[in-house]
Amino acid sequence: MTTTDNLHAFIADLPKAELHVHHVGSASPRIVSELAARHPDSKVPTDPEALVDYFTFTDFAHFIDVYLSVVDLIRTPEDVRLLTYEVARDLARQQVRYAELTITPFSSTRRGIDERAFMEAIEDARKAAESEFGTVLRWCFDIPGEAGLEAAEETTRLATDDRLRPEGLVSFGLGGPEIGVPRPQFKPYFDRAIAAGLHSVPHAGETTGPETVWDALTHLRAERIGHGTNSFQDPALLTHLAEHRIPLEVCPTSNIATRAVRTLDEHPIKAFVEAGIVVTINSDDPPMFGTDLNSEYAVAARLLNLDERGLAELAKNAVDVSFLDEPGKARIKDEIDTYTTTWLAP
């Protein structure tokens, strides 16, 4: 009989891959306090204890305020490097071996950070993280949908210009609000990114219905869907996602925090698994939603009634549908198998 405590201990050391996590949204109170100390004129507290209160959101509007105040702390290439490197440290602590980090370069270049220095900062952090923590990072550059076509053009340029495009870039995304931001208008930008060899991974169906997921598939040629939560409303869509093996990047706690879903028990994750869809577990903006990847695996274990073997399969799903090369995938999956076998040995 597996106890909940046992399962949590198993998850804590289970090698994992994280496919849906945002760069600025991963700034923990520890990282924010370091950044705030570098910029004393900011209104963000520097004391980690005060920061825990600061990160307690009263509602979604408050979350956006806090998020933007953290964006305001990223002012220099050195801030970008520090944030990226420290986020990797937090991932490594959770035994994350591979992560695709969603970065919104437009937020930084618009604020005047030199584009070349920005790319060098993230690449420098990526290389340091890999050699020091053993965590492999790759980038997804995403269009902040609310900033419109100007942001789409700028993000596409940064992602496809050979003189700028960072080595670690593997995919192209679309984030921000869905309501009032129709997906089809971004088709020309995704076409260019795909032609440049990038994978398409837009957010869709988080706060709007299944038609947005269809749009992401048809117009943006999505290979994975960020969230896809409301896909459950359309049985034909569930069948399509299963048959074409289009994985969903599920972030349960984020969906509660943003009120996309009312309670965890009402989360459609089980319906996705029962429909035969490849499901991956992710954390989105973990410190801002009071979670981390390990907690999300614990949530999944409860909602899907998984034991250690089931959790290991879930972890391997994420590795399988990641954009890591095949030898890299095989290495992490072997590690997951060895860890699980050893854990379950009598």
Q: With respect to Zn ion, which residue has the nearer C-beta, 104 or 340?
A: 104
Which CB atom, from 79 or from 284, has the smaller least distance to Zn ion? 284
Shortest separation between residue 158's beta carbon and Zn ion, angstroms: 19
For the CB of residue 60, give the shortest distance to Zn ion in the complex, in Å.
14
Tokens of 24: 């600025």
Distances (CA, A) of 80 to 170, 256, 318: 19, 29, 27
Q: Quick one: 45 or 177, whose CB is closer to Zn ion?
A: 177
Could you tell me the smallest distance in angstroms from the CB atom of residue 226 to Zn ion? 5
Residue 216 C-beta: closest distance to Zn ion, Å: 13
Q: How far is the CB of 102 from Zn ion (least distance, A)?
A: 6
Dihedral angle over CA of 206, 276, 335, 23, nearest 10: -10
Residue 46 or 207: the one with the smaller Cβ distance to Zn ion is: 207
Active site residue 86: no
Nearer to Zn ion, 76 or 291 (CB): 291
Q: Which three-class secondary structure state does DSSP give residue 73?
A: coil
Interface with Zn ion in residues 273-302 (CB under 5 A): 284
Do residues 47 and 32 touch, judged by C-beta distance below 8 A?
Answer: no
Nearer to Zn ion, 223 or 284 (CB): 284
- Applying CB under 5 A, the site for Zn ion has a residue count of 1
Q: Tell me what percent of the chain is helix, strand and coil, each rounded to the nearest 5.
A: 55, 15, 30
Contacts of 289 (CB under 8 A, 6+ apart): 253, 254, 257, 283
Tell me the residue number closest to Zn ion, measured at CB: 284
Assign 38 to helix, strand or coil. Answer: helix
Q: In what order do the strands lie in the sheet with 248-250?
A: 203-204, 225-227, 248-250, 279-281
What SS3 class is residue 307? coil
Beta strands in the chain (DSSP E): 16-22, 96-103, 136-144, 169-175, 199-200, 203-204, 225-227, 248-250, 279-281
123, 178, 206, 296: the active-site residue: 206
Task: For the CB of residue 248, give the shortest distance to Zn ion in the complex, in Å.
Answer: 12
Q: What is the DSSP string of 230-268?
A: GGGG-HHHHHHHHHTT--EEE-HHHHHHTTSSS-GGG-T
Which of the residues are catalytic? 206
Rule CB under 5 A: which residues touch Zn ion?
284
